[in-house]
Amino acid sequence: MALHRLLGMKIGTPTPDTLDDFYREIGLEGGNGKWGSAAAPDQIVITESPYRQLREIRVGCEDEADLAAIGKRLDHLGVTYDLSGGKLKLEDPSNHWSIEIEPTEPFDVPAPPARVGNRPGDRPRRGQRADVIGESSPRPPRRLGHVVVGTPEIEKTRALFVDGLGFRISDSVAGLAFFTRCSMDHHNLLISPGPVPYLNHYALEHDDIDSVARAATLYLRAHEDAQIAGPGRHMIGGNIFWYMRDPSGTFFEYFADMDLIDDDQAWQPREDWPLEDSWSVWGEKDQPEVFFQPHDIEDVIAGYQKEDETR
Ligand SMILES: [Fe+2]
């Protein structure tokens, strides 16, 4: 595997301080515009921008030979890039996101303390209260797992990330949405339709359903209008999910237990997921309309168009 890790993203917002406060509140570690978990620091970088948007995606590959191979494929696509200092950098010509790829060591966050639970016929938790009850604060998010972007240029975006950079398609929906991975996660980048390029949501991995639900519940008690969707379990990717809105207007997802693909040859991507019935195994049946029409989408469109005039 050439690409093996989503290193991080840079997110733009008119109010960086608000996002700093938000990430501190939900238990990420860092400060001054750089946030992550204890094991995976600096995955989210905040920068001041005229409107909320995705600024950059950073991806890890195995070695410098991968960078050369990606460069050749970009040449073939006619996409310009800079390969120097051990990194390959480019601007996505359709969406104007910066992309950085660099060799990094294989990595996973360390396994959290296991929970002991009972189920039919297998009941090891005896004489002992559920451990989640004894946790004085919710377990924190462990890492940034995926980003979901909207774009008016689905095919060009798919071609850049898949044919050019080497992301692999795990599943797709009606040729309209591509679940792609640059690691063993079922998806690290979901390319979906949008009126302009924008960041639909980003997803933070939690330990399990207890951790997702407890952290989400506590956040929603303090921010009643932040609910977007969930809890539920997705069909595509298989992950438990709970979506909320961060103070900048971007949705964030707490997720756990996503499908993992460690054998590219053995995995069979499905292209026939039905548009109308592929949102969840349990939870809300349909994907809420707000996903396609975020509350501030008119501001995002106006912001993008204004910036586009200066390009
Ligand atoms: Fe997601």
Is this structure's pTM higher than 0.95? yes
Query: How many domains does the chain divide into?
Result: 1
Distance 156 CA to ligand 1 centre (A): 22
Which run of H or E residues covers position 297? helix 297-309
pLDDT tier at 12, thresholds 50, 70, 90: very high
Q: Average pLDDT in the 279-287 region?
A: 95
Is there a domain that residue 104 lies in?
yes
In terms of C-beta density within 10 A (0-12 exposed, 13-18 middle, 19 or more buried), how is residue 169 classed? middle
Distance 64 CA to ligand 1 centre (A): 30
Task: Give the amino acid at 236.
Answer: I
Task: Give the amino acid at 221.
Answer: R
Distance 212 CA to ligand 1 centre (A): 13
Q: Average pLDDT in the 248-264 region?
A: 97
The pLDDT value recorded for residue 274 is 84
DSSP string of 60-97, one letter each residue: EES-HHHHHHHHHHHHHHT---EEETTEEEEE-TTT--
Distance 76 CA to ligand 1 centre (A): 31
Contact criterion met (CB below 8 Å) for 150 and 194:
yes
The pLDDT value recorded for residue 1 is 53
Extract the tokens encoding 131.
């451990």
Q: Which residues crowd ion ligand 1, with CB under 5 Å?
A: 203, 253
Q: Average pLDDT in the 214-219 region?
A: 97
Is there a domain that residue 272 lies in?
yes
Q: How far apart are CA 297 and CA 172, in angstroms?
A: 24
Distance 37 CA to ligand 1 centre (A): 19
Q: Which domain holds residue 38?
A: 3-108+140-309
Extract the tokens encoding 90.
């480019």
The pLDDT value recorded for residue 306 is 97
Distance 141 CA to ligand 1 centre (A): 14
Is there a domain that residue 63 lies in?
yes
175 has a pLDDT exceeding 90 = no
272 has a pLDDT exceeding 80 = yes
Q: Average pLDDT in the 88-100 region?
A: 98
Is there a domain that residue 97 lies in?
yes
The pLDDT value recorded for residue 276 is 81
> How many helices (H) does the chain have, and how many strands (E)?
5, 16
Is there a domain that residue 170 lies in?
yes
Q: Report the mean per-residue pLDDT for the chain.
A: 96
Q: pLDDT for 96-146, tens place per residue?
A: 999 999 999 999 999 999 899 999 999 999 999 999 999 989 999 999 999
Is there a domain that residue 212 lies in?
yes
The pLDDT value recorded for residue 277 is 84
Is there a domain that residue 301 lies in?
yes
The CATH number assigned to the domain holding 33 equals 3.10.180.10
Is there a domain that residue 288 lies in?
yes
The pLDDT value recorded for residue 293 is 93
